Amino acid sequence: MNGSFEEKLKEINETSARKLAEISNKFTGDMEKQNLELKEKFKKLDDDLEGARTLSRDTLHKLILLATSIVGFSITVVSTNLFNQRANFGELKLSWYIFLLAIITAYISLFLESRVKYALSWRAFQVMQFNKKYFSFQDWVKVFAVIIYSIILSPRNLVFCRMYSSEDKKTYFANLNGKTVGWLAETYKLVLLIETITAVIFIYGLYLFIKSFA
């Protein structure tokens, strides 16, 4: 009887272990499948966003070329005295300055996007934390200075990202780096604003250019 009972108990244990393993494998498989699906969705989102940004950058390049061509063409036309009697030189010169402003803002937008994106990608892989109690006025100044330094001079710098001896310093600078990443993400929005301003400036310059010959 004891032998039969032990065999029965062993069989029950083996059956239970097998079912638990099947459930665990099924759960793990479902989780892996969901993770893969989520990764694919995020990859598609990143590709769509990058495609949109590529289109915007191409538009800015074409706008720069078009503005430069218009200014060069109009200067050539004026210098040959073909439309001197009809052209309003005040509006024409103003349109040249506005086109120049559009070219400058377009270059600023392209420069900012590349630098901010580089610095943001680099710092996002470094150690960072988010805790507001660590931020004094001096901390805000430090973060602002590092952002300016990263954008203008060195996007891939190690300020706030070095190896520190004490845990307090590690936590402190990890929080500063986290705030820097957050501000860089906000600065990236400035690129979109400058793009919009550039388009408005270019359209106004084109309006004045056409009006000057009307």
Q: What phi and psi, each to the nearest 5 degrees, are found at residue 55?
A: -60, -40
Q: Which residues of the chain have a pLDDT value below 50?
A: 1-2
- CA–CA separation, 34 and 39 (whole Å): 9
One DSSP character per residue, the chain reads: -HHHHHHHHHHHHHHHHHHHHHHHHHHHHHHHHHHHHHHHHHHHHHHHHHHHHHHHHHHHHHHHHHHHHHHHHHHHHHHTTSSTTT--HHHHHHHHHHHHHHHHHHHHHHHHHHHHHHHHHHHHTS-----GGG--HHHHHHHHHHHHHHHHT-TT--TT-S--SSHHHHHHHHHHHHHHHHHHHHHHHHHHHHHHHHHHHHHHHHHHHHHHT-
- CA–CA separation, 68 and 70 (whole Å): 6
Q: Tell me, what's the pLDDT at 67?
A: 87
Q: Which residue do the tokens 């990058």 mark?
A: 50
- CA–CA separation, 89 and 154 (whole Å): 44
Q: What phi and psi, each to the nearest 5 degrees, are found at residue 19?
A: -65, -40
Q: How many Cβ atoms from other residues are within 10 Å of residue 76's Cβ?
A: 10
Q: Tell me, what's the pLDDT at 102?
A: 92
Q: Tell me, what's the pLDDT at 192?
A: 86
Q: How many Cβ atoms from other residues are within 10 Å of residue 84's Cβ?
A: 11
Type of residue at 98: I
Q: At what angle do helices 89-124 and 137-152 cross, to 10 degrees?
A: 110
